């Protein structure tokens, strides 16, 4: 099978997955009634969400500059934020989050850098994001399981999750050679080769971190960027949290479920999978009480996904426009 046929097959599979999840999300919804719930999200909340994502881009630009400072000393703020704008824009338009590959190409072309080392760094960056998502997921799972909720316990569970995952990463970094040798022995040849290549990429990616100050600043910027994402979900979802009578911490659950849903192969923009992730989070948070208002839930799911994607597209397009004004078409 040629590469083009494989790509077409993957795209078709993604659209089929999206269709299935769209059906599961909206199968009991009367769309004529959904429209009446869209005006719940006021302009102030939308503007707040947009500003939060703009601040996210700014922080991530400095995060990238900090992490790559020993490889690309001349990486400017404009180049950094432009690469992120291009990446986020194409992640929405193209399947399989191909925007990350375009970001690598953009930086490597601008700075005559090796794409392999940049790809390795992007892998580390994404693993750190997964680390944050997993820590948050473990923390919120307490609230999704327990009947009585104590909001002050969330930071304790979050810190416990972060410490646990950090220890697992430290154990891997210390004993990864032994883990790799053991895995190669017990695994089929093809799988062991894939794992070996992944391990090598991780080691190359980790070489960008050369000082404690760099790591500390990077960690602070990473958390700050996720705070901005959380703020955007607070702004966008707060009116619906009130409407559906959901718990105060619901926004963080929506953020985590959306982030996890985006990792599922689907049509561009996470269509279907993110909708169902948000629907599932409402069912876990509000149970039958919230789901007895299927049209209100549908409006929440559609508007939240729309604005999250819109913010990325809008701000990404603005950043690219500013870059072109400063550098011309090339």
Whether residue 289 lies inside any domain: the answer is yes
Whether residue 193 lies inside any domain: the answer is no
Q: Compute the distance between CA of residue 74 and CA of residue 266 in angstroms, rounded to an integer.
A: 37
Q: Compute the distance between CA of residue 144 and CA of residue 76 in angstroms, rounded to an integer.
A: 43
How many Cβ atoms are within 10 Å of 182's Cβ, its own excluded? 11
**How far from 286 is each of 131, 205, 247, 279, CA to CA, in Å?**
27, 42, 8, 10
What percent of the chain has a predicted confidence (pLDDT) above 90? 38
205 vs 257 pLDDT, higher one: 257
Query: Considering only 25-34, 50-59, 162-171, 310-319, which range has the smallest mean pLDDT?
Result: 162-171
Whether residue 64 lies inside any domain: the answer is yes
Q: Which contacts (CB < 8 Å, 24+ apart) does range 208-214 have?
A: 208/67, 208/68, 208/70, 208/71, 208/117, 208/121, 208/124, 209/67, 210/70, 214/66, 214/67, 214/69, 214/70
pTM of the model: 0.82
Q: Are 162 and 135 in contact (CB under 8 A)?
A: yes
Q: Count how many domains the chain has.
A: 1
For the cut 80, the answer to whether the pLDDT of residue 8 exceeds it is: no
Nearest to 302, CA basis, from 253, 269, 259 = 269
pLDDT in tens, 285-305: 887 777 789 999 999 999 999
For the cut 70, the answer to whether the pLDDT of residue 204 exceeds it is: no
Whether residue 5 lies inside any domain: the answer is no
Which residue in the block uniquely carries the two structure tokens 């953020």?
Answer: 255
Whether residue 204 lies inside any domain: the answer is no
What does the pLDDT read at residue 147? 44
For the cut 90, the answer to whether the pLDDT of residue 233 exceeds it is: yes
Q: Where are the alpha helices (DSSP H) in the chain?
A: 3-26, 31-34, 43-67, 77-93, 99-111, 115-145, 153-186, 189-206, 212-243, 250-262, 273-291, 294-327
For the cut 80, the answer to whether the pLDDT of residue 39 exceeds it is: yes
For the cut 80, the answer to whether the pLDDT of residue 281 exceeds it is: yes
Whether residue 117 lies inside any domain: the answer is yes
77 vs 176 pLDDT, higher one: 77
What does the pLDDT read at residue 34? 93
Whether residue 9 lies inside any domain: the answer is no
Average pLDDT score over residue span 89-99: 80
Range of 76's domain?
A: 16-150+212-327
Query: Considering only 35-39, 112-116, 326-330, which range has the smallest mean pLDDT?
Result: 326-330
Whether residue 189 lies inside any domain: the answer is no
pLDDT confidence bin for 1, thresholds 50/70/90:
very low
Q: Compute the distance between CA of residue 235 and CA of residue 53 in angstroms, rounded to an integer.
A: 11
For the cut 60, the answer to whether the pLDDT of residue 203 exceeds it is: yes
What does the pLDDT read at residue 297? 94
Query: Which pair of tokens denotes residue 281?
Result: 């989070």
Longest alpha-carbon distance in the chain: 60
Nearest to 99, CA basis, from 320, 301, 304 = 320
């Amino acid at each position: 099978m040629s590469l083009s046929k494989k790509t077409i097959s993957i795209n078709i599979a993604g659209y089929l997955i999206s269709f299935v999840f769209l059906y599961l999300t909206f199968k009991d919804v009367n769309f004529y009634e959904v429209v009446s719930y869209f005006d719940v999200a006021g302009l102030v909340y939308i503007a707040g969400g947009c500003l939060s994502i703009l601040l996210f881009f700014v922080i991530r630009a400095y995060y990238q500059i900090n992490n790559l400072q020993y490889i690309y000393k001349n990486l400017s703020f404009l180049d950094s934020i432009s690469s992120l704008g291009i990446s986020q824009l194409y992640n929405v338009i193209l399947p399989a989050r191909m925007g990350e590959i375009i970001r690598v190409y953009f930086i490597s072309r601008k700075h005559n850098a090796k794409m392999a080392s940049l790809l390795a760094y992007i892998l580390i960056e994404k693993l750190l994001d997964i680390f944050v998502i997993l820590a948050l997921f473990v923390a919120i799972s307490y609230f999704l399981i327990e009947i009585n909720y104590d909001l002050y316990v969330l930071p304790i569970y979050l810190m416990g999750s972060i410490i646990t995952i950090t220890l697992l990463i430290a154990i891997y970094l210390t004993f990864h050679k032994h883990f790799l040798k053991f895995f190669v022995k017990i695994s089929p040849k093809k799988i062991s080769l894939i794992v070996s290549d992944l391990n090598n990429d991780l080691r190359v990616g980790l070489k960008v971190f050369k000082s404690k100050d760099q790591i500390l600043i990077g960690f602070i910027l990473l958390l700050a960027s996720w705070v901005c994402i959380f703020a955007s979900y607070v702004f966008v979802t707060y009116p619906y949290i009130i409407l559906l009578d959901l718990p105060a911490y619901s926004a963080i659950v929506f953020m985590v479920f959306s982030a996890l849903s985006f990792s599922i192969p689907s049509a561009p923009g996470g269509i279907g999978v993110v909708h169902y992730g948000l629907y599932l989070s409402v069912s876990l948070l509000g149970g039958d009480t919230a789901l007895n208002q299927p049209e209100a839930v549908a409006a929440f799911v559609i508007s939240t996904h729309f604005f999250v994607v819109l913010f990325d597209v809008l701000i990404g397009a603005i950043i690219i426009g500013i870059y072109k004004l400063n550098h011309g078409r090339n």
